[in-house]
Amino acid sequence: MATFKDKTVLVTGGAEGIGFLMGKKSLQEGARHLIIWDINKESIQSAVDTLTSLSFSVSAATVDVSDPEAVKTNAEKVLTEYGNVDILFNNAGIIVGKPFHEHSVQDIQRTMGVNTLAFMYVTNAFLPSMMERNSGHIIAITSSAGLTPNPGMVVYVASKWAAVGWVESLRLEVRRTHPGIKFLNVMPGYIGTKMFAGVTPPRLLPLLDPERITNRIIDYIKRERRTLRAPVLVKFTTFIRGLLPAPLYDFIADKVLNVYSSMNTFQGK
């Protein structure tokens, strides 16, 4: 069993949504200090004020995690001040919910940068110090969108497919030489936060409650589980896609479960 007690925790995209909740839960579980990285200055200040009012030890920085130089500079500051990061939440994410042909080049670059490359930049900055101690926990908040296609979010889907492949491969690579470093790949469906405001949850795939999925993530970290897929039907996505012919899978996802029309009502940020 893993523990949060006396650990230093860093959460990217940690000022709002489940990022904030994961940081707060980590502190409630006994973490010594929480570091929040986010790009929204107002949200950062609100998060820090809320948590320090509860007598928790918190610091924060405005960091664009899609910028490798910004990540490197701020990671060096963290390692100098705190020595190491014990638990790293790669959580920052964005979505452009519109047809692909309406995306600008900047939309594409930004989505891939935040949802995929940032995971690599941030982990690359902190993994060496974890390897020196053969200790640490790396959590990647990917998505069930990394397991199945979905119209209306094609670049987001691409970024999450890449993130899933990255974290699963990295876990296998690192365990060969540093088995003390643990990984958790979290692949949730739609979560009821501002990011997915307005989506129509597919049949049998209800909107996830932020508090409940956060509690499950914390529990899975403590139990050193490797993957978390939610809701239940997501657990079987890979198996079903591999078993069924593509036209039949598409028919079920589209006409039966309404997955492919779930973004039609999207209003999120």
Select which of 156, 190, 220, 260 is catalytic.
156
Q: How would you list the strands of the sheet with 87-90, edge to edge?
A: 58-62, 33-38, 8-12, 87-90, 136-141, 181-188, 227-230
Is 220 labeled as catalytic in the residue annotation? no
Which has the closest alpha carbon to 108: 159, 150, 60, 151?
159
Residues 6+ apart with CB under 8 A from 120: 166
H-run or E-run covering 155: helix 154-177
SS3 of 159-170: HHHHHHHHHHHH
Q: What is the C-alpha to C-alpha distance for residues 239 and 234, in angstroms, rounded to an integer? A: 10
Residues 184 and 228: beta-carbon distance below 8 Å = yes
What's the chain's length in residues? 269
Could you tell me how far CA 131 lies from the centroid of its own chain?
Answer: 22
Q: What is the C-alpha to C-alpha distance for residues 54 and 129, in angstroms, rounded to an integer? A: 30
Q: Provide, for the chain, the percentages of residues in helix, strand and coil under a 3-state DSSP scheme, each rounded to the nearest 5.
A: 50, 15, 35
> What are the residue numbers of the active site?
156
